[in-house]
Amino acid sequence: MDWGGPTFVVLLVAISTIGWLVNNWIRAKHGYSLEDEWGGMTEPTEKRSDRELREQNAKLVETLEKMQDRMVVLERIVTDKGYTVAEEIEALRDRPVRETRDNGVPLNIETKERV
């Protein structure tokens, strides 16, 4: 074997590269920080277990359901209030002018059941 030829240089580069790849593969497999191409260290990302992800997903689904329930209640409040205000305005329009001096305002609003 010729120690000064190009085959020896290519062989050294190949062995070094394969060694570096095997080293990083073993380190990654066992959760150690990895060496980057300039000799610095790259920390591994945090892995979450399936159980932790399922727990977080369950909490998020529960929160979403609570928010949907609250939104339904808020929609009911907003729409019911608007409907009542419109009826009160119409009742005031129908009232004769001479009753404006009274303290109380009869609205004569019938309670309507809404679904």
**Regarding predicted confidence, which is higher, 35 or 113?**
35
H/E run at residue 42: strand 41-42
The model's confidence at residue 37, banded by pLDDT at 50, 70 and 90, is low
Overall average pLDDT of the 57-86 stretch: 83
**In the prediction, which pLDDT does 16 show?**
92
40: alpha, beta or left? (left if phi > 0; alpha if psi -120 to 50):
beta
Give Cα separations from 34 to 29, 44, 73, 84, 89 (angstroms): 10, 7, 53, 67, 73
Residue 46's pLDDT band, with cuts at 50, 70 and 90, is low
To the nearest whole number, what is the mean pLDDT of the chain?
Answer: 76
Look at residue 44 and tell me whether its pLDDT is greater than 70: no
**Which residues lie across from 35 on neighbouring strands?**
41
Averaged over 29-57, what is the pLDDT? Answer: 75
* CA pair distance 18, 94, nearest whole angstrom: 92
Q: Which tokens is 85 given?
A: 């205000």
d(CA 65, CA 72): 11
CA–CA dist 15, 6 (Å, integer) = 14
